[in-house]
A and B are shown apart, each in its own frame.
Chain A
């Protein structure tokens, strides 16, 4: 059996697990073999492997005595008593000597401490040290930041809690400005290493760029989970000697506490989100009695609705697999929110019926932010989002801008209609303003039977001819109208020579017995082509 344990091991079990560390914690690995009182220690010649127990109520220790003990070969000093306290001078002496100075509020005598030593030695011999180690009760009640500060001081490490995307939630030990600047790069390095290691917890080294050079930094990564949901990661960056088994056990315990704290925060956020979500639903569907009430409720949530708002609706398409839809929308919402934070003081981004609703305020002096500006801005936003989220394609519908917030419900319906009908005007990934819909808006009010009758009446001859001869005259005509009757553009889109196109259009005129140059014929055929495209898209 081992005859020694370390100060750290002594403080890992009851009753000293709740003891405070006043200083000198760097010497926590010093071996402890016996316990002496203050009087005995002052008389002893050699204090190696000795922990000195001082009862503040009965022992009168002078500054000189304490400093002498701290600078000797003693393993550590434990001060007990209800009002156990140390002066700053003692704490500094302990740090300088790297001799742990411990404060224990509970009464403890030498014999009891000696029994504890024997117990710890037995536990250690059985290899069960980490099983018996207990987190101080003071750590159980604290907030995340307080927990991290205490853990960092105990483990002599810088600590960071990050979310699943490696963004900082809380940190300890990064008070220096240089540390804060390099934290982002350090986290990025850790994230890459984690991904390369097939997303497994553990210890590894990363290269951290500091001012002018790069240094290797050790990192202990523990994932924080609640059931199977990943809440984030706990990262410990030890300084000096690194982490022993007891430290790793303590990290696991701290990780459980951090998981609980993150889970609580997540639940609070979800309640807040649900409340906001209900408000946004009421805003989008005109469920307020008056505009004043709406503005007042918005103010309570930190939103200013006294300015006109502009609204667009985004919908992702072709995302696979379908069961990851919820995660995709979460990611999409976060990405768009982050992008808009940099541009607008207030941007509301919410998921509604599998579409993302974006509401942005008009700024002062922006009276000319009309249809064109909005469409270009939406284009830029779409590009930035698609760059950040791999494999996603977005379509966007934009509603009209109204001066009053009470009309936002109308803008919302317009944006949704633009989104739905826009795909009949352009391909997937379209951006359509409500005012650009034109005749599509009228067609949406007509029954399917009537629409079918009309387009078959107008284009019947071509449809028959295409079916009999395997040609694509309908497609040619549709493209011709799509390109505003521009011969060259149409020919380019259809990958044919303009003379070939001319001949085809001539054939189409023969089949339909119409002159394509007459405006009325063009209007009818253009509408019929739109309907044909609409029906083809609907039936797909």
Chain B
């Protein structure tokens, strides 16, 4: 069976170092725009973790639906690619994506997003963000071979069944405290 690629985020491991953000910026030579962003989960008084998010390469991509220039396409391995050469800067995709992923590059005036480092993957490498993650919180997975501890959604997400993001989470675990007397 052909692979269906996606990202796995282990919320228990991510320490918010933003290495994935920097790696993505370097790989795509971005200026003034980011394709991957690390956000805090929780609030000021109770921080529960960090979430690294880029394009979710959804099963039902809204960007494909709204783009009149047909910039977006979905490969058989699940990766949603964007062709900036076709983009006319209409920003339909920017508004349509429920995760606000496509970003308008202020310099080129065209939309852009994570392409799963298609060139690196073609050479047998992992995406730059995954390679840069020192704690292995961010991984590439095959969604056709699910694991029981993966979760499909978080409460802060929109109703995911409509776009079905190719994204899975491992929820944070309670830390072991061997020195406490229970």
Q: How large is the interface on B (under 10, 10 to 19, 20 to 34, 35 or more residues)?
A: 20 to 34
Are A281 and B76 also in contact (CB < 8 A) when A409-B64, A417-B162 are?
A: yes
- Closest chain-B Cβ to A407's Cβ sits at a distance in Å of 7
Question: What residues of A have a CB within 8 angstroms of the CB of B75 in the complex?
Answer: 285, 287
Q: Which of B65, B158, B159 contacts A414 (CB 8 A)?
A: B65
A448 and B159 contact, CB distance less than 8 A: yes
Within 8 A of A (CB), among B98-117: 98
| Sampled A-B contacts (30; CB under 8 Å) | A278-B76, A281-B76, A282-B76, A286-B64, A286-B73, A287-B74, A287-B75, A353-B59, A409-B64, A409-B65, A410-B67, A413-B60, A413-B62, A413-B64, A413-B65, A414-B65, A416-B60, A417-B65, A417-B162, A420-B161, A444-B159, A444-B162, A445-B96, A445-B98, A445-B158, A447-B155, A447-B156, A448-B155, A448-B158, A534-B159
A406 and B70 contact, CB distance less than 8 A: yes
**Interface residues, chain A, with chain B CB atoms under 8 Å away:** 278, 281-282, 285-287, 353, 406-407, 409-410, 413-414, 416-417, 420-421, 444-449, 451, 534, 538
Residue in chain B with minimal CB distance to A278: B76
Question: What residues of A have a CB within 8 angstroms of the CB of B60 in the complex?
Answer: 413, 416-417, 420
The secondary-structure label for the interface of chain B is loop
A77 to B167, CA, bound (A): 79
Q: Is residue B165 contacting chain A, with contact meaning CB distance below 8 A?
A: no
Interface string of B152-164 (1 = CB under 8 A from A): 0001111101100
Q: Is residue B169 contacting chain A, with contact meaning CB distance below 8 A?
A: no
Q: Is residue B7 contacting chain A, with contact meaning CB distance below 8 A?
A: no
Within 8 A of A (CB), among B123-172: 155-159, 161-162
Residue in chain A with minimal CB distance to B71: A286
B162 and A286 contact, CB distance less than 8 A: no
- Closest chain-A Cβ to B122's Cβ sits at a distance in Å of 16
- Closest chain-B Cβ to A408's Cβ sits at a distance in Å of 11
Q: Is residue B6 contacting chain A, with contact meaning CB distance below 8 A?
A: no
- Closest chain-B Cβ to A296's Cβ sits at a distance in Å of 17
Question: What residues of A have a CB within 8 angstroms of the CB of B59 in the complex?
Answer: 353
- Closest chain-B Cβ to A327's Cβ sits at a distance in Å of 19
B162 and A421 contact, CB distance less than 8 A: yes
Question: What residues of B have a CB within 8 angstroms of the CB of A278 in the complex?
Answer: 76
Question: What residues of B have a CB within 8 angstroms of the CB of A353 in the complex?
Answer: 59
Interface string of B50-82 (1 = CB under 8 A from A): 000000000111101111001011111000000
Question: What residues of B have a CB within 8 angstroms of the CB of A409 in the complex?
Answer: 64-65, 70, 73
B158 and A285 contact, CB distance less than 8 A: no
Other 10 A-B pairs with CB < 8 A, given A445-B96, A448-B156: A286-B64, A286-B73, A287-B73, A287-B75, A406-B70, A409-B64, A413-B65, A444-B162, A448-B158, A534-B159
A322 to B155, CA, bound (A): 29
- Closest chain-B Cβ to A412's Cβ sits at a distance in Å of 8
Are A448 and B157 also in contact (CB < 8 A) when A281-B76, A420-B162 are?
A: yes
